[in-house]
A and B are shown apart, each in its own frame.
Chain A
């Protein structure tokens, strides 16, 4: 294909015919193989492992604040030894420490784990392998994307250790807490570092996203028409489009915020009296709501940036392990498109209680409820793909089914909070926490686990341990429900989120034992995640070696590469594609790979 020939003439020939190209053989050093690599597979692994480190940190932060929520009266002296006085004076999480914990937990999980860790990993890994390309359209930009993300991570990590603490005004960074250094300890250096880190993160996402789109639309192998692409690729395409169109708007919001913070402008600030310095600020005419509009114009698509890659991988994994074609391929693509479009039209449903015009509120409620349509199409199609399938419950498949379960449970409550009238009661309560953690947090983590377990043999040429994986799955599934299900009841009773101590509230005292229960489940579930980490790192070096090129009997192109593909993916020519990716159980054959030409007597549906 000409585009591949133009861009990757240097890497494509690397592995074929060593004698002829001997003098051109490119020497791989440790630095350019493992550090500043331009191989999409290595960059994917970098994203994955960095994402895992962040998941560990972000998860641990939630363990700490659950200690405060579950045991508000107890003190744990070892906490002060571990974290110091600022975070845990006298062995009890301090109020400022608590707000810093919830803010950093949210930022890290949403952006670093479920955006960079999820789509960074699988877009990089799967796009070239599944569309039949030697690498991304611009491997160099791809490398930059990772290193911008890495720099963003270093700065965010450093902000946890500054004297005044990390930013603590919530992951949404609403002004004035984010705009005024004197508003809270975390609003000082911590916020400066937060905003620098996030700006670098936006650059990383844009560089990555541009590359994913250009690669999918321009670098497909011969025969790989758009309608023959696996659903993973469709999902990653829409994810990248969402990111490329919404992250710049967040950046404009941040630029205005930087001016308010550092140059005394009044975009977001008006009529403020600061108790900490006992002064009235001269800022006039600003509007904090403006920031919310700019933030949620990204913030809502961001939810789908997190969801869609998981949806794509789940579609693929469910179809492979049910040994059946995906039900309603075009409906799946159409619903992805509908979700991606609606993503831009619903941001104000995060702002129903900001004094939004009720007429506008009703429009946003309507558009929000419309998302239920494509979402239920997807759920229906996953269930009908499973229906009467020849199901193989591999760990990847279990997590994929778990994803569907989480998505249904969390999605149904979306219909509640999407209603402006109900939201007035439920806004900023534990109901919302339960809703979004199930539907995008846990569900997408399940998608990520499914992807890692499923594609691990392709990544490292070895298998992960199944027994550990099954234990990990069941504890995580049960744990996630036990953590988030009770929160619905707390939220319905009006228990607000982000409070430091509920035991002093007459109305919420009744939940102290439930809170303790949730916290204990959090500790167990967190420890179960260590099983995954141990399994992952042990299996990289000591796992059972993959001996089968195509261990799942899958149709897609990544399984036509060698077990440990080099840079360039295919030793010889890139294979040509003759059919879609879902010919399972067709004409009595278990599976027919995409590279198999269509036979003469083959039935004519779907090529």
Chain B
């Protein structure tokens, strides 16, 4: 696959990823527009977001940096560096998801229940929207682990950039999606 003739057409797998990104965007558009509709109705609780969501933002930005370095290392065929950065990215991704969970608990501890009959839709939305986003991050972590294991047991000297490029695009996307969600939630409270 190294010596493919250069074509200006996008690789079908990359294209499929972009379509999937569009699809995921529609899902969050659905959720956030539901949020807007609810917000304009009575009884929508106002509260401050936990500080930890700011910290998790730093973590996910860092993970984007390590992902970028991992892709660079892969393209330069520096396998050890690649393995290191991909591990770091996966770890940061998992840390991000854990921090979001801590954020949920933090809200609960401050008397803002996210689920149950006493919950307000404003708080439940935080759980649903951020929870669905965290699941997408965890999905990326699983893909990173698979890529790492594949690199570990790689026997041939063949390199194919496409899977790593696809993964990297997805990873940056979930990062950008998080920043959108954070801005959205700060803006519309």
Contact = CB atoms under 8 A, between A and B. Distances in A.
Given A252-B27, A285-B44, A265 B115 contact: yes
B22 interface: yes
B158 interface: no
A549 interface: no
A252 B19 contact: no
B19 A214 contact: yes
Interface in B36-57: 37-38, 41-44
Contact of B31 (A138, A210, A219, A252): A252
B152 interface: no
Nearest to A2: B7
Q: Which residue, B20, B27, B44, has most C-beta atoms of chain A within 10 A?
A: B27
Interface in A191-250: 206, 210-211, 213-215, 217-219, 244-250
- Chain A residues touching B, range: 35 or more
Interface string A298-312: 000000000000000
Nearest to A218: B12
A210 B44 CA distance: 37
Contacts of B29: 249
Interface in A39-55: none
Contacts of A214: 12-13, 15-16, 19
A294 B119 contact: no
A264 interface: yes
B124 A265 contact: yes
B12 A297 contact: no
A390 interface: no
Interface in A264-282: 264-267, 281-282
A287 to B, nearest CB: 6
A3 interface: yes
Interface stretch (A172-180, A253-261, A313-321, A458-466): A253-261
Given A249-B30, A252-B31, A282-B118, A138 B22 contact: no
Contact of B9 (A218, A244, A245, A267): A218
A3 B11 contact: yes
A266 B118 CA distance: 9
Interface of B is mostly: helix
Given A6-B1, A267-B121, A294 B30 contact: yes
Nearest to A286: B121
A100 to B, nearest CB: 29
B115 to A, nearest CB: 4
Nearest to A141: B16
A6 B10 CA distance: 12
A284 B38 contact: no
Given A249-B30, A285-B43, A137 B12 contact: yes
B116 A263 contact: yes
A137 B22 contact: no
B43 A284 contact: yes
B142 to A, nearest CB: 16
B73 interface: no
A209 B76 CA distance: 35
A283 interface: yes
Given A210-B19, A255-B132, A267-B121, A3 B41 contact: no
Given A138-B12, A256-B34, A267-B34, A285 B120 contact: yes
A7 interface: yes
Contacts of B4: 2, 6
B121 A285 contact: yes
B38 A137 contact: no
A280 B74 CA distance: 61
B187 interface: no
Q: Which residue, A6, A215, A283, A293, has most C-beta atoms of chain B within 10 A?
A: A6
Contacts of A213: 15-16, 19
A331 interface: no
A281 B42 CA distance: 18
Contacts of B10: 218
Interface string A149-187: 000000000000000000000000000000000000000
A252 B34 contact: yes
Contact of A287 (B9, B27, B41): B41
A137 B34 contact: no
B30 A285 contact: no
A294 B12 CA distance: 31
B149 interface: no
Contacts of A365: none
B26 interface: yes
B23 interface: yes
Contacts of B9: 2-3, 218
B15 A218 contact: yes
A2 B12 CA distance: 11
A264 B116 CA distance: 4
A294 B132 CA distance: 17
Contacts of A7: 12
B22 A259 contact: no
B41 A137 contact: no
Contacts of A138: 12-13, 16
A290 interface: yes
Chain A to chain B: the 9 pairs with minimum beta-carbon distance, closest first: A248-B27, A252-B30, A249-B30, A285-B43, A137-B12, A263-B115, A265-B124, A282-B117, A218-B12
24 contacts: A3-B7, A3-B12, A206-B20, A213-B15, A214-B13, A214-B15, A218-B9, A218-B11, A218-B12, A219-B12, A247-B23, A248-B26, A249-B26, A251-B30, A253-B30, A264-B119, A265-B116, A265-B124, A266-B121, A283-B117, A285-B43, A285-B44, A285-B121, A290-B37
